Structure 1
Amino acid sequence: MQQDGEWPAGLPPVRAVPAEEVRAALAGTPTVVVLDDDPTGTQTVRDLPVLTRWSAGDVDWALAQGAPAFFVLTNTRSLAPDDAAARTREVVRTCRDVARRRGVEVIVASRSDSTLRGHFPLETDVIAAEVGADAVVLAPAFPDAGRITLDGVHWLADGDTLAPVAESEFAADATFGYRHSRLADWVAEKSGGAIPADDVAEVGLGSLRAGPVTLPRARVIVLDAVVDDDLRAGVLAILAAERDGARFVYRMGPSFVRARVGQGGQPPIADADLRDAVGTGHGLVVVGSHVARTSRQLERLGARRELARVEIDVPTVLDSDDAHLDDVVAQVADSLEHRTTVLSTSRTLVTGRDEAESLEIARRVSAALTGVVGRVAGPDSAASPPAYVLAKGGITSSDVATGSLRADRAWVRGSLLPGIVSLWAPASGPPLVVFAGNVGGEDALADVVDRLEEAACA
């Protein structure tokens, strides 16, 4: 829901910063390696490579494509802190080693949630130690989805109403909850005081819209942003500082990725291109997200079209009942022959006694979900593949891509709604639609499925 410069009221007028200006400034700069803690960072961009594994050969392939950036899907948001740190370190070292052998440089970035969930500052600390970075640029704004940063405070929009992010359901996350909406205070909170608020500098909207910006010196630099022009103004300041020798780690939402690679907002994939991208028959919608927004979207999807609904019962899975999963596989394979099929976990969220136990439960449930999808739509399945697989929820999308479809290398082809919901074209297998759990209005899932089913049945 990209907004104009008069929203909220009383803001300074937008300073137009065309994407072409950023692309010109990118000439001769290193490739950006975007470590994505789930795959939804791809939803604002198109025509960039994605890796779901990070062998030297995979990284070499991605660098050979000549794109200004590529994504490495680390899925660290689903991992415990020590495992997330180890994986981040492994990916950074592999990418730097391959780049060194090719005689090129890379910049390593950390893409995470626009509602502030994820391992921070753990991941940026690991990256900074590996690459020798001076500071972290914190830019979580995602204007397409109504997430903006203003006066150093991160906000969520619901229609014309703005609410501080700490008052949202996302701040109550069982694993990554928080209390503060001002990003300087959030940094201090998440770092346990290791990075005090006084060590966080805010680059305000007034500065970004007044003219060229010189970035302040600080351990963390927060960028205000209400529209993409604000982010592109920040990117130009970052590129200027990097030309003068500064080394940053970016902790960013999806919109900063688009700004940093010099892409502007683009319309969703055209119907004709979508028909070429999907298969024939019906699609499989895989739902792992438990946020209220996803539940409402599921209700609207069911009200709009006839669906086959197949549910994995979470308590039964936690009791290690394999016969239940065999039955679920049979139901999904049969229903796909006749209609769009929704595969979901039971809607009551089961959490553990602490963060570690909650993560372990989430991993077991995700393994069950992706195992079923792999048996129906994966490369070893004997069944006819679905026309497409739509994965709802960031961690769900990651696990479906890596565990179910084994889509090691793919291209992001674009979005299915303005600025949200991305279509991947894997090297083999059905196309994958990556749909974050926390984006889109109540009709968004139904709108996307309508487009996909019309394309598949054309």
Structure 2
Amino acid sequence: MASIDLHALPPAAEPDVDALAARVARSGRVFVVLDDDPTGTQSVADLPVLGAWDVDDFAWAFASGAPAVYVLTNSRSLDPESAERVNREVVRNAMEAATTADLRVAFVSRSDSTLRGHYPLEPDVISSEVANAGGAPIANVVIVPAFPDAGRITVCGTHGMLDAGDFTPIGETEFAKDSTFGFASSRLADWVEEKSHGRFAASEVVEVHIDVLRDSEEAVADALRSAPEGAPIVVDAVVEEDLVQLALGLEIVEAEGRAFVYRVGPPFLRARIGQRRREPIATDRAGEGGATRGGLIVVGSHVGLTSRQLAHLTANRDLAAVVEIDVPRLLDPETGTQEVSRAVAAVSDALLRGDVVLHTSRTLVRTEDPDESLRISRRVSQAVVDSVHAVAERRTPRFVIAKGGITSSDVATRGLDIRRAHVKGSLFPGIVSVWEAVDGLAAGIPYVVFAGNVGDDTSLTAAVERLSATP
């Protein structure tokens, strides 16, 4: 762990966010965000979200007049072949709907601020499909994983986590050891070379450093123009203003005819469309029905922070029940079905008395085979989905909090049958998204998307306190 002196960096720019929003509006461009899990929405507000991507779904979203639409691909939970298929379907249908609506679209491949996900596969597929549909050829992929609100920053080309002034390069964190998407590099140019298996040499990657971002939007535009066609572009960011300054430079170069695909962390889109930070939304105690019906908190993520948050919640809240899905029993063909049935009965009964936690067992079942790891993850996720769906058909909770990226996507689209929703805002500053479902089993109640790796040890407890019927 190293210490970096942020005060030694050039002062942040003071870009005009409103001017950027006006430019985006004049461009007539709508950004289609392929979100590899739904936690990408936690930095934005008042935008449509699609849990399905038929042409009619895009027509509904485009009719809202919003500058961007999120599509829940959940591709981080998929094998490469399935991820490719889903990305192709989304881009094809989005472009068809955009043509009908006479709109220009640009594509954002939203992924993890800790660098997990299908790179370079997903940006490659998007670029390919845009070309197949006769769109403007994609000149470069712009990579911006920073998420300052959650302490993920990029400085001098190196990405990492900032905590109380201590900077840990991302390659030294637990996320780099991910069984499916693990990596060794912290410098983004090296990471690009590593993940592309040498297709892009680190020396070919164009780095846009903080001194350029904090110079002027014209300096940013010059740096973007200097990138040879096809070269990946990686960009520093420490604070929100850096992302807005990048967006202003991008707007200049795109107006000249250059097209990009973006591979980014959650806050990029907020900056790119010129949306100002919003205050956390007021919850006013969620749902209806008084204290006779509790909320459902679903915990699937296994990162250390989530487990600590779960422990704090169970130790500090008077919950009606804490129901565990035992993963070894679930994976056993002789006991798997009974394990789900037991969880459904326990949760359904307890919701009549108050808030209920449904979580997977905290001991992570590991394997050295990445494909087998994904298979296990999908089996566990299916059990969570089946449990939530069965519970919601019996009894609508006052609210649902889904903890973990893949968990929140699966619970939304398959557990609660959410096809269309609106992002209302965030529960805390810049993190933890609150949706309003238009359809499905969660229509009329708050659905809270809570990433596994954000907040502090008390944040899950605070979320439940804000939403619960009882103080």
TM-score, with length taken from structure 2: 0.92
* Alpha-carbon contact 1:165-1:181 (below 8 Å) kept: yes
Q: Please tell me the residue identity of whatever aligns with 1:71.
A: Y
SS of the aligned residue for 1:390 comes to strand
2:395 aligned to which of 362, 366, 384: 384
* Alpha-carbon contact 1:279-1:386 (below 8 Å) kept: no
Match of 2:332 in 1: 319
* Alpha-carbon contact 1:278-1:452 (below 8 Å) kept: no
Q: Please tell me the residue identity of whatever aligns with 1:313.
A: D
The number of aligned residues is 445
* Within-5 A mapping of 1:45-84: 45-84=44-83
SS of the aligned residue for 1:267 comes to coil
Match of 1:444 in 2: 459
Q: CA RMSD in A?
A: 1.4
1:60-108 deviations in whole A, cap 9, x for unaligned?
Answer: 1001100000100000000000110111011101100111122221111
1:351 to partner: Cα distance: 2.4
| In 2, Cα distance between equivalents of 1:182 and 1:438 | 21
| In 2, Cα distance between equivalents of 1:21 and 1:248 | 21
1:205 aligned to which of 210, 223, 238: 210
Match of 2:113 in 1: 114
| In 1, Cα distance between equivalents of 2:25 and 2:78 | 36
1:358 maps to 2:373? yes
1:234-263 deviations in whole A, cap 9, x for unaligned?
Answer: 011111111111010000101101101211
1:160 to partner: Cα distance: 2.4
| In 2, Cα distance between equivalents of 1:313 and 1:47 | 38
| In 2, Cα distance between equivalents of 1:137 and 1:54 | 24
Match of 2:91 in 1: 92
Structure 2: which 5+ runs fail to align?
Answer: 131-136
| In 2, Cα distance between equivalents of 1:406 and 1:135 | 36
| In 1, Cα distance between equivalents of 2:194 and 2:214 | 29
1:153-184 deviations in whole A, cap 9, x for unaligned?
Answer: 10101232111011110000000000001000
Quickly say closer, same or farther: Cα 1:222–1:279, change in 2 above 3 A: farther
2:147 aligned to which of 142, 146, 151: 142
* Alpha-carbon contact 2:287-2:398 (below 8 Å) kept: no
| In 2, Cα distance between equivalents of 1:373 and 1:305 | 21
Match of 2:129 in 1: 130
| In 1, Cα distance between equivalents of 2:386 and 2:288 | 22
Structure 1, 347-356 or 390-399: larger mean CA deviation: 347-356
Match of 2:314 in 1: 302
* Alpha-carbon contact 1:13-1:209 (below 8 Å) kept: yes
1:431 maps to 2:431? no
SS of the aligned residue for 1:31 comes to strand
Q: Please tell me the residue identity of whatever aligns with 1:97.
A: E
| In 1, Cα distance between equivalents of 2:151 and 2:255 | 32
1:333 maps to 2:348? yes
1:196 maps to 2:209? no
1:223 aligned to which of 235, 251, 265: 235
Structure 1, 284-293 or 345-354: larger mean CA deviation: 345-354
1:369 aligned to which of 384, 392, 401: 384
| In 1, Cα distance between equivalents of 2:312 and 2:49 | 31
| In 2, Cα distance between equivalents of 1:278 and 1:267 | 24
1:293 aligned to which of 293, 305, 313: 305
1:188-215 deviations in whole A, cap 9, x for unaligned?
Answer: 0000000111221111111111112221
1:32 to partner: Cα distance: 0.3
TM-score, with length taken from structure 1: 0.95
1:276 to partner: Cα distance: 6.3
Identity in percent: 51
